[in-house]
Chains A and B, each alone.
Chain A
Amino acid sequence: MTPADGDALLLRDVRRTFRVGLRLARRDVLTGVDLELGARATLGVAGPNGSGKTTLLRILAGVDRASSGEVGVLGGSPSDARVRRRVGYLPEESPFPPELTARAALDLLGSLQGMDRVERRAESARLLELVGLRGEEHHRLGRFSRGMLRRFGLAQAALARPALLLLDEPTAGLDAPGFDVLALLLAESRERGAAVVIASHLIGDLRDHCQELAVILGGKIAVRGDPRELLAGRTLLDIYRERSPAPGARP
């Protein structure tokens, strides 16, 4: 399956099941996600802890594979290197190599993304400047504060000028300058025509940056719409309560 022209994402009945514990018990995280996202759109993904937001973003980034269903990203499969070359991903944590300097880590990540040396150098310098880490580029990531690491994470996600930017909890742990950095990067991505998916718990992230909001409950997208309308006079918790599957209901 390939997304229609202009679609950044096209997902049909995407499921992901994990086997956990010694008895390999089944744990269904995604139970049938259907999703379409046009190019240039910015989608917010919300949901309670363990609802599958991170798993969904990992599947879109090619880190994980769906157990079943169809996943179309930028006209191809996320396992295709040509597709991944055009996807930028900020993980929820910041598991970047602590022994490398910010500059060396960006160089490594760029080389793994297939960027040539000249391109890597130019983009690394530009992005480190943009995220306010130019003065720290020769410091090891292991010495960075959490906020600096999040800013570094934003820089590495934008390194290859992606056509699809996947941001998992981008403001979690972000320091004060980081909020401006996030806004700048999102504006730059939109200018470039990139689609953006933001998974977040925070109403502010979803309302301020997203044109659409999808709420995952019970492993499926339970509600989707304009975040300003959905969140008018309500909290995310209200939506979770209203839309949660009845106890005992099968997904």
Chain B
Amino acid sequence: MNPGLARLALRRALAPGVLAAWVVLLLLLLPREWAGSNALVEAAGEGADPESVGRGMVRAGVWTMLAIAVLPLLVARAARIVAVWRAGEADWLGSRTTGRGAILASTWIGTWLGGALLLAASCGAIELRAGAGEPTLRRAGALAIPATGWITARAPLRWTADDAPAGGRARVEFGFAGDSGSAAEVVFRARRGSSERSSTARSSSRGAIEVELPPGRGGVEFEIACSRPGTRAFLASDAAELWTPCASDRAASGEILLRLVLALATWTALAIGLGAWVSAPTAGIALLAAWIPAWFGSAAAWLPGADLWTALEIAGWGRVPPPIDPRAFAAGAALAIVGLLLAAAGLRRWRAT
């Protein structure tokens, strides 16, 4: 590890052009009104706090645009690093006593830290714009639901969860399946001992319903039923989402920042590695292609950044995404090592022409 080289890489990651693009983007994004009135009315109808949803939409909107615009810029610049070296800098890098491994590791760390600083500054700006934090709910896992068919008034769905934290909420998605009426009105009950909580939701197509978990400890009995005879509904999810209280909705930005920083660490290392073998645009496209399946499915949830869009969606509700899957840290470290090994192999000869 060479601190001087890491500082140079950090400085290059935060080149004036990158900083200017970032400032312009923030100036365009932050003043924008992200919470549409329809969305707030809908949120109010579902029992959510419109102010909290409004703050969440600012977070989700600005973070999404930054993820789409700034992250690819940082990764594309990382993919160019080896090409820049080969265009001349290899002459002073490759003739020194410091080995390729240390040169690559220092450059990667500097590049990553530069990007991380930019994202951390973005986080501060977004939170300043979103305003004071308020207590909210954090996604905390899932409660399994037994397989079921139609749900009606006479045939409710009942199941028991071994334990669920008091003060939290359980949420399921359901759909209206027809018969009489133009919508399904669904009742969701949660009972623990003598305490019971319930809620009602109505949907003509597909919707969500959540119920507060009763106080106390021990198993919770859940029941979902249609409130009117003659209507049928179905569950659109095979598990109930569990939500627990969280002190501040600002934690949402923290979770998104952490995901982006971890993904950036992985992507910059892989971009440097691929950039030692193919052109920078090809390296960028290859990386994007590798992550698309993760974004459109749940097969690779352990990949860093795989649940980024889900986390942004949750932030948009004014709530806090779950903590990062611990496997993503291990996968990120492993992929970063693969990227640096690729680069080291590609730089066996510093000069190719």
> Within 8 Å of chain B (Cβ to Cβ): is A107?
yes
Contacts of B90 in A (CB 8 A): 63
Q: Is the CB of B8 within 8 A of A111?
A: no
Partner-contacting stretch, out of A37-45, A86-94, A124-132: A86-94
> Within 8 Å of chain A (Cβ to Cβ): is B124?
no
Partner-contacting stretch, out of A95-103, A170-178, A179-187: A95-103
> Within 8 Å of chain A (Cβ to Cβ): is B237?
no
* A226 CB, min distance to chain B CBs, angstroms: 30
Q: Which of A48-103 contact B (CB under 8 A)?
A: 58, 61-65, 81-82, 84-85, 87, 89, 91, 93, 95-97, 99-100
Q: Is the CB of B95 within 8 A of A63?
A: yes
Identify the interface centre among A20, A84, A95, A114: most chain B CB within 10 Å of its CB: A95
> Within 8 Å of chain B (Cβ to Cβ): is A109?
yes
Q: Which of A18, A89, A95 contacts B88 (CB 8 A)?
A: A95
**Complex alpha-carbon distance, A109 and B95, angstroms:** 10
Interface size bracket, B side: 20 to 34
Contacts of B353 in A (CB 8 A): 18, 20
- Using a CB–CB cutoff of 8 Å, the interface residues on chain A facing chain B are 18, 20, 58, 61-65, 81-82, 84-85, 87, 89, 91, 93, 95-97, 99-100, 104, 107-109, 111-114, 156
> Looking across the interface, which residue of chain B has its beta carbon closest to that of A18?
B353
* A224 CB, min distance to chain B CBs, angstroms: 25
Q: Is the CB of B91 within 8 A of A108?
A: no
Q: Which of A84, A95, A111 contacts B91 (CB 8 A)?
A: A95
How would residues 247 to 277 of chain B score, 1 for a CB under 8 Å from any chain A CB and 0 otherwise? 0000000000000000000000000000000
**Complex alpha-carbon distance, A84 and B100, angstroms:** 13
Q: Is the CB of B97 within 8 A of A112?
A: yes
Contacts A18-B353, A58-B351, A65-B349 given; does A112 touch B93 at CB 8 Å: yes
**Complex alpha-carbon distance, A82 and B94, angstroms:** 14
**Complex alpha-carbon distance, A162 and B348, angstroms:** 24
Q: Is the CB of A96 within 8 A of B351?
A: no
**Complex alpha-carbon distance, A132 and B218, angstroms:** 81
Identify the interface centre among B3, B92, B99, B353: most chain A CB within 10 Å of its CB: B92
**Complex alpha-carbon distance, A91 and B87, angstroms:** 12
Q: Which of B43-102 contact A (CB under 8 A)?
A: 87-99
**Complex alpha-carbon distance, A63 and B8, angstroms:** 20
> Within 8 Å of chain A (Cβ to Cβ): is B204?
no
**Complex alpha-carbon distance, A114 and B95, angstroms:** 12
Contacts of A96 in B (CB 8 A): 89, 92
* A133 CB, min distance to chain B CBs, angstroms: 17
Q: Is the CB of A63 within 8 A of B88?
A: no
